[in-house]
Amino acid sequence: MEKYYTRACNFYYGKQSKLKVKNKLSIPLHGNKSISFDNLEVITRKYNKIIHIKDINFQNKNLKKKIKKDLKLITNLKKIKNLNLNYFPLLMGVINLTPDSFSDGGKYNNVNKAYEHAKNFIKKGSKIIDIGGESTRPGSKEIKKEIEWKRISKTIKKIKKLNTFISIDTRKSWIMEKGINQGANLINDVSGLNYDLNTINILKKTKIPFVIHHMKGTPKNMQKNPKYKNVILDIYDFFEKKINQIRKKGIKHNNIILDPGIGFGKNLKHNITLISKISIFHSLGFPILLGLSRKRFIKDISGKNDSKERLGGTISSNLFAMTQGVQILRVHDINEVNQSIKVYKSLNL
Protein backbone atom coordinates (compact mmCIF):
# COMPACT_ATOMS: atom_id res chain seq x y z
CA MET A 1 0.00 0.00 0.00
CA GLU A 2 1.27 3.46 -0.95
CA LYS A 3 2.60 5.48 1.98
CA TYR A 4 1.50 9.11 2.27
CA TYR A 5 3.46 11.88 3.98
CA THR A 6 1.80 15.17 4.93
CA ARG A 7 3.61 18.51 4.96
CA ALA A 8 1.97 21.71 6.20
CA CYS A 9 2.85 24.52 3.79
CA ASN A 10 2.00 28.01 2.61
CA PHE A 11 2.53 29.57 6.02
CA TYR A 12 1.34 32.94 7.28
CA TYR A 13 3.06 34.82 10.08
CA GLY A 14 2.18 37.49 12.62
CA LYS A 15 -0.75 39.83 11.97
CA GLN A 16 -1.66 38.19 8.66
CA SER A 17 -1.75 34.76 10.29
CA LYS A 18 -4.00 35.90 13.15
CA LEU A 19 -6.42 37.46 10.67
CA LYS A 20 -6.51 34.29 8.54
CA VAL A 21 -7.12 32.11 11.60
CA LYS A 22 -9.86 34.44 12.85
CA ASN A 23 -11.65 34.12 9.50
CA LYS A 24 -11.07 30.34 9.46
CA LEU A 25 -8.96 30.59 6.31
CA SER A 26 -5.89 28.94 7.84
CA ILE A 27 -5.01 26.46 10.59
CA PRO A 28 -2.72 27.51 13.48
CA LEU A 29 0.44 25.46 13.79
CA HIS A 30 0.51 23.77 17.22
CA GLY A 31 -2.28 26.05 18.36
CA ASN A 32 -0.18 29.19 17.86
CA LYS A 33 -2.30 31.77 15.99
CA SER A 34 0.83 33.75 15.07
CA ILE A 35 1.83 31.09 12.57
CA SER A 36 -0.64 29.19 10.42
CA PHE A 37 -1.00 27.41 7.09
CA ASP A 38 -3.70 26.81 4.51
CA ASN A 39 -2.15 24.16 2.25
CA LEU A 40 -0.90 20.62 2.70
CA GLU A 41 1.60 18.91 0.45
CA VAL A 42 0.89 15.20 0.15
CA ILE A 43 4.05 13.35 -0.80
CA THR A 44 4.66 9.73 -1.82
CA ARG A 45 7.72 8.02 -3.26
CA LYS A 46 6.21 8.52 -6.71
CA TYR A 47 4.47 11.90 -6.70
CA ASN A 48 3.38 14.89 -4.68
CA LYS A 49 0.39 17.23 -4.80
CA ILE A 50 -0.81 20.34 -2.99
CA ILE A 51 -4.21 20.26 -1.29
CA HIS A 52 -5.95 23.32 0.14
CA ILE A 53 -7.38 22.72 3.62
CA LYS A 54 -10.92 23.31 2.32
CA ASP A 55 -10.47 20.38 -0.09
CA ILE A 56 -9.41 17.73 2.46
CA ASN A 57 -12.84 16.09 2.57
CA PHE A 58 -12.83 15.61 -1.21
CA GLN A 59 -9.83 13.25 -1.14
CA ASN A 60 -10.03 9.47 -1.33
CA LYS A 61 -10.81 7.57 1.86
CA ASN A 62 -7.25 6.46 2.73
CA LEU A 63 -5.70 9.83 1.99
CA LYS A 64 -8.37 11.75 3.92
CA LYS A 65 -7.85 9.45 6.95
CA LYS A 66 -4.07 9.95 6.82
CA ILE A 67 -4.33 13.75 6.48
CA LYS A 68 -6.73 14.07 9.42
CA LYS A 69 -4.49 11.87 11.56
CA ASP A 70 -1.44 13.99 10.69
CA LEU A 71 -3.33 17.24 11.26
CA LYS A 72 -3.89 16.24 14.89
CA LEU A 73 -0.11 15.94 15.30
CA ILE A 74 0.60 19.13 13.36
CA THR A 75 -1.82 21.18 15.44
CA ASN A 76 -1.06 19.70 18.91
CA LEU A 77 2.55 19.95 20.00
CA LYS A 78 4.08 17.62 22.59
CA LYS A 79 5.43 19.36 25.71
CA ILE A 80 9.06 19.16 26.80
CA LYS A 81 9.83 19.04 30.51
CA ASN A 82 11.05 22.43 31.82
CA LEU A 83 10.95 24.07 28.36
CA ASN A 84 8.36 26.66 27.45
CA LEU A 85 7.70 25.97 23.77
CA ASN A 86 5.06 28.69 23.65
CA TYR A 87 8.02 31.08 23.58
CA PHE A 88 9.00 30.46 20.00
CA PRO A 89 11.58 30.04 18.68
CA LEU A 90 13.83 29.03 21.56
CA LEU A 91 17.52 29.76 21.05
CA MET A 92 20.09 27.12 21.99
CA GLY A 93 23.51 28.64 22.56
CA VAL A 94 26.49 26.53 21.46
CA ILE A 95 29.46 26.15 23.80
CA ASN A 96 32.17 23.89 22.37
CA LEU A 97 34.76 22.93 24.97
CA THR A 98 37.01 21.44 22.31
CA PRO A 99 40.24 22.47 20.60
CA ASP A 100 38.99 21.39 17.16
CA SER A 101 35.30 22.20 16.58
CA PHE A 102 34.60 23.48 13.06
CA SER A 103 33.73 27.06 14.05
CA ASP A 104 34.94 28.05 17.51
CA GLY A 105 37.30 25.23 18.53
CA GLY A 106 39.64 26.32 21.32
CA LYS A 107 37.89 29.64 21.89
CA TYR A 108 36.01 28.74 25.08
CA ASN A 109 37.68 25.56 26.29
CA ASN A 110 38.34 26.60 29.85
CA VAL A 111 35.85 26.89 32.70
CA ASN A 112 35.88 30.67 33.22
CA LYS A 113 35.65 31.56 29.53
CA ALA A 114 32.82 29.09 29.02
CA TYR A 115 30.97 30.37 32.08
CA GLU A 116 31.20 34.01 30.95
CA HIS A 117 30.13 33.01 27.46
CA ALA A 118 27.10 31.15 28.84
CA LYS A 119 26.21 34.10 31.07
CA ASN A 120 26.28 36.42 28.05
CA PHE A 121 24.18 33.95 26.03
CA ILE A 122 21.50 33.93 28.74
CA LYS A 123 21.55 37.72 28.99
CA LYS A 124 21.04 38.01 25.22
CA GLY A 125 18.15 35.55 25.08
CA SER A 126 19.41 31.98 25.03
CA LYS A 127 16.98 29.58 26.76
CA ILE A 128 19.20 26.48 26.34
CA ILE A 129 22.97 26.08 26.70
CA ASP A 130 24.39 23.18 24.65
CA ILE A 131 27.73 21.98 26.04
CA GLY A 132 29.97 19.65 24.06
CA GLY A 133 33.40 18.16 24.72
CA GLU A 134 33.93 16.19 21.50
CA SER A 135 34.08 17.68 18.02
CA THR A 136 31.77 16.02 15.49
CA ARG A 137 32.84 18.15 12.53
CA PRO A 138 33.30 16.31 9.22
CA GLY A 139 36.43 14.15 9.38
CA SER A 140 36.79 14.32 13.17
CA LYS A 141 37.94 11.32 15.16
CA GLU A 142 36.49 9.87 18.35
CA ILE A 143 38.11 10.77 21.66
CA LYS A 144 38.21 8.79 24.91
CA LYS A 145 35.31 9.30 27.26
CA GLU A 146 37.61 10.35 30.11
CA ILE A 147 39.06 13.18 28.01
CA GLU A 148 35.60 14.32 26.94
CA TRP A 149 34.32 14.33 30.52
CA LYS A 150 37.38 16.20 31.79
CA ARG A 151 36.66 18.94 29.25
CA ILE A 152 33.04 19.52 30.29
CA SER A 153 32.52 18.39 33.91
CA LYS A 154 33.57 21.54 35.77
CA THR A 155 31.83 23.77 33.22
CA ILE A 156 28.51 21.95 33.59
CA LYS A 157 28.72 22.32 37.35
CA LYS A 158 29.51 26.04 37.16
CA ILE A 159 26.97 26.92 34.45
CA LYS A 160 24.28 25.08 36.42
CA LYS A 161 24.57 27.88 39.00
CA LEU A 162 23.10 30.20 36.37
CA ASN A 163 19.81 28.33 36.75
CA THR A 164 19.51 27.65 33.03
CA PHE A 165 18.44 24.69 30.88
CA ILE A 166 21.56 22.65 30.04
CA SER A 167 21.95 20.31 27.08
CA ILE A 168 24.84 17.85 26.84
CA ASP A 169 26.11 17.24 23.30
CA THR A 170 27.55 13.71 23.53
CA ARG A 171 27.33 10.24 21.97
CA LYS A 172 28.51 8.35 25.05
CA SER A 173 26.16 6.95 27.71
CA TRP A 174 28.88 7.20 30.37
CA ILE A 175 29.08 10.97 29.76
CA MET A 176 25.30 11.25 29.64
CA GLU A 177 24.84 9.64 33.04
CA LYS A 178 27.53 11.80 34.65
CA GLY A 179 26.10 14.93 33.04
CA ILE A 180 22.57 14.12 34.22
CA ASN A 181 23.90 13.60 37.75
CA GLN A 182 25.38 17.11 37.57
CA GLY A 183 22.05 18.62 36.55
CA ALA A 184 21.85 18.38 32.74
CA ASN A 185 18.29 18.78 31.41
CA LEU A 186 18.63 17.42 27.87
CA ILE A 187 20.72 14.87 25.96
CA ASN A 188 21.73 15.86 22.42
CA ASP A 189 23.28 12.79 20.74
CA VAL A 190 24.32 13.47 17.13
CA SER A 191 24.49 9.73 16.38
CA GLY A 192 20.72 9.36 16.59
CA LEU A 193 21.13 7.11 19.67
CA ASN A 194 23.06 4.63 17.48
CA TYR A 195 26.64 5.05 18.71
CA ASP A 196 26.34 3.58 22.20
CA LEU A 197 23.98 0.65 22.84
CA ASN A 198 23.65 1.64 26.50
CA THR A 199 22.24 5.09 25.64
CA ILE A 200 18.65 3.83 25.51
CA ASN A 201 19.04 2.32 28.99
CA ILE A 202 20.28 5.63 30.42
CA LEU A 203 17.45 7.56 28.77
CA LYS A 204 14.91 5.06 30.02
CA LYS A 205 16.25 5.05 33.57
CA THR A 206 16.54 8.83 33.94
CA LYS A 207 13.47 9.80 31.85
CA ILE A 208 15.42 12.85 30.69
CA PRO A 209 14.36 14.74 27.52
CA PHE A 210 16.52 13.98 24.50
CA VAL A 211 17.12 14.83 20.85
CA ILE A 212 16.81 12.26 18.07
CA HIS A 213 19.38 13.54 15.59
CA HIS A 214 19.90 12.19 12.09
CA MET A 215 23.41 11.48 10.85
CA LYS A 216 24.38 9.29 7.90
CA GLY A 217 27.57 7.42 8.83
CA THR A 218 29.99 8.81 11.42
CA PRO A 219 31.71 12.21 11.72
CA LYS A 220 34.81 10.59 10.21
CA ASN A 221 33.10 9.44 6.99
CA MET A 222 29.68 11.16 6.84
CA GLN A 223 30.62 13.62 4.08
CA LYS A 224 32.10 11.00 1.73
CA ASN A 225 29.52 11.05 -1.05
CA PRO A 226 26.31 10.70 1.05
CA LYS A 227 23.35 9.31 -0.92
CA TYR A 228 19.59 9.05 -0.35
CA LYS A 229 16.67 7.75 -2.39
CA ASN A 230 14.65 10.76 -1.16
CA VAL A 231 16.37 12.77 1.57
CA ILE A 232 13.14 14.15 3.08
CA LEU A 233 11.26 10.86 3.17
CA ASP A 234 14.30 8.77 4.14
CA ILE A 235 14.91 10.93 7.20
CA TYR A 236 11.20 11.02 8.04
CA ASP A 237 11.20 7.20 7.96
CA PHE A 238 14.34 7.17 10.13
CA PHE A 239 12.58 9.27 12.80
CA GLU A 240 9.42 7.18 12.62
CA LYS A 241 11.39 3.93 12.96
CA LYS A 242 13.51 5.29 15.81
CA ILE A 243 10.44 6.49 17.74
CA ASN A 244 8.88 3.02 17.38
CA GLN A 245 12.11 1.39 18.56
CA ILE A 246 12.41 3.48 21.69
CA ARG A 247 8.75 2.84 22.51
CA LYS A 248 9.42 -0.89 22.33
CA LYS A 249 12.43 -0.37 24.63
CA GLY A 250 10.16 1.16 27.26
CA ILE A 251 10.55 4.92 26.75
CA LYS A 252 6.93 6.05 26.85
CA HIS A 253 7.28 9.79 27.56
CA ASN A 254 7.05 12.48 24.87
CA ASN A 255 10.03 14.60 25.93
CA ILE A 256 11.58 14.13 22.51
CA ILE A 257 12.98 16.65 20.00
CA LEU A 258 13.78 15.92 16.34
CA ASP A 259 16.85 17.25 14.52
CA PRO A 260 17.36 16.26 10.84
CA GLY A 261 21.09 16.99 11.15
CA ILE A 262 21.97 19.66 8.61
CA GLY A 263 25.50 18.93 7.37
CA PHE A 264 25.68 15.50 8.97
CA GLY A 265 25.99 13.17 6.00
CA LYS A 266 24.34 15.57 3.53
CA ASN A 267 25.56 17.47 0.49
CA LEU A 268 24.37 20.94 -0.51
CA LYS A 269 21.31 19.67 -2.38
CA HIS A 270 20.30 17.49 0.59
CA ASN A 271 20.69 20.38 3.04
CA ILE A 272 18.71 22.86 0.92
CA THR A 273 15.93 20.32 0.35
CA LEU A 274 15.71 19.59 4.09
CA ILE A 275 15.61 23.24 5.12
CA SER A 276 13.09 24.22 2.44
CA LYS A 277 10.78 21.29 3.30
CA ILE A 278 11.47 21.26 7.05
CA SER A 279 7.77 21.57 7.93
CA ILE A 280 7.18 17.92 6.93
CA PHE A 281 8.52 16.87 10.33
CA HIS A 282 5.67 18.64 12.15
CA SER A 283 3.47 15.69 11.22
CA LEU A 284 5.54 13.48 13.55
CA GLY A 285 4.17 15.54 16.44
CA PHE A 286 7.43 16.51 18.16
CA PRO A 287 9.35 19.81 18.37
CA ILE A 288 11.99 20.42 15.71
CA LEU A 289 15.56 21.53 16.40
CA LEU A 290 17.75 22.93 13.64
CA GLY A 291 21.48 23.68 13.68
CA LEU A 292 22.15 26.03 10.76
CA SER A 293 24.66 28.34 12.39
CA ARG A 294 27.86 28.93 10.37
CA LYS A 295 27.35 25.69 8.43
CA ARG A 296 29.18 24.90 5.19
CA PHE A 297 26.00 25.08 3.09
CA ILE A 298 26.14 28.86 3.61
CA LYS A 299 29.60 28.94 2.04
CA ASP A 300 28.50 26.67 -0.80
CA ILE A 301 25.59 29.00 -1.63
CA SER A 302 27.31 32.35 -1.09
CA GLY A 303 30.59 31.60 -2.89
CA LYS A 304 32.72 34.74 -2.99
CA ASN A 305 30.42 36.31 -0.38
CA ASP A 306 31.38 33.75 2.26
CA SER A 307 32.75 35.06 5.55
CA LYS A 308 34.32 33.61 8.68
CA GLU A 309 31.23 34.03 10.88
CA ARG A 310 28.69 33.42 8.05
CA LEU A 311 26.36 35.67 9.98
CA GLY A 312 24.19 36.73 7.05
CA GLY A 313 23.52 33.15 5.98
CA THR A 314 22.94 32.08 9.58
CA ILE A 315 20.37 34.81 10.19
CA SER A 316 18.48 34.35 6.91
CA SER A 317 18.27 30.56 7.22
CA ASN A 318 17.16 30.76 10.85
CA LEU A 319 14.48 33.32 10.06
CA PHE A 320 13.21 31.05 7.28
CA ALA A 321 13.15 28.11 9.71
CA MET A 322 11.19 30.20 12.21
CA THR A 323 8.55 31.02 9.59
CA GLN A 324 8.20 27.27 8.96
CA GLY A 325 7.46 26.70 12.65
CA VAL A 326 10.82 25.31 13.82
CA GLN A 327 10.75 25.57 17.62
CA ILE A 328 14.46 25.45 18.57
CA LEU A 329 17.39 27.08 16.77
CA ARG A 330 20.94 26.05 17.69
CA VAL A 331 23.23 29.04 17.13
CA HIS A 332 26.63 30.52 17.99
CA ASP A 333 25.65 34.19 17.63
CA ILE A 334 22.76 34.49 20.08
CA ASN A 335 22.60 38.28 20.20
CA GLU A 336 22.56 38.82 16.44
CA VAL A 337 20.07 36.03 15.72
CA ASN A 338 17.79 37.22 18.51
CA GLN A 339 18.07 40.78 17.19
CA SER A 340 16.92 39.60 13.75
CA ILE A 341 14.00 37.67 15.26
CA LYS A 342 12.83 40.69 17.26
CA VAL A 343 12.95 42.94 14.22
CA TYR A 344 11.17 40.39 12.02
CA LYS A 345 8.42 39.86 14.59
CA SER A 346 7.96 43.62 15.05
CA LEU A 347 7.54 44.06 11.29
CA ASN A 348 4.85 41.38 11.32
CA LEU A 349 2.81 42.49 14.35
Active-site pick, 137, 295, 296, 310: 295
Contacts of 275 (CB under 8 A, 6+ apart): 262, 290, 292, 317, 320, 321
CA 346 to chain centre: 24
Catalytic site includes residue 242: no
The beta-carbon contacts of 338-343 under 8 Å, at least 24 apart in sequence, are 338/91, 338/124, 338/125, 340/315, 341/89
Catalytic site includes residue 7: no
Active-site pick, 20, 171, 172, 330: 330
Q: Which residues are catalytic?
A: 295, 330
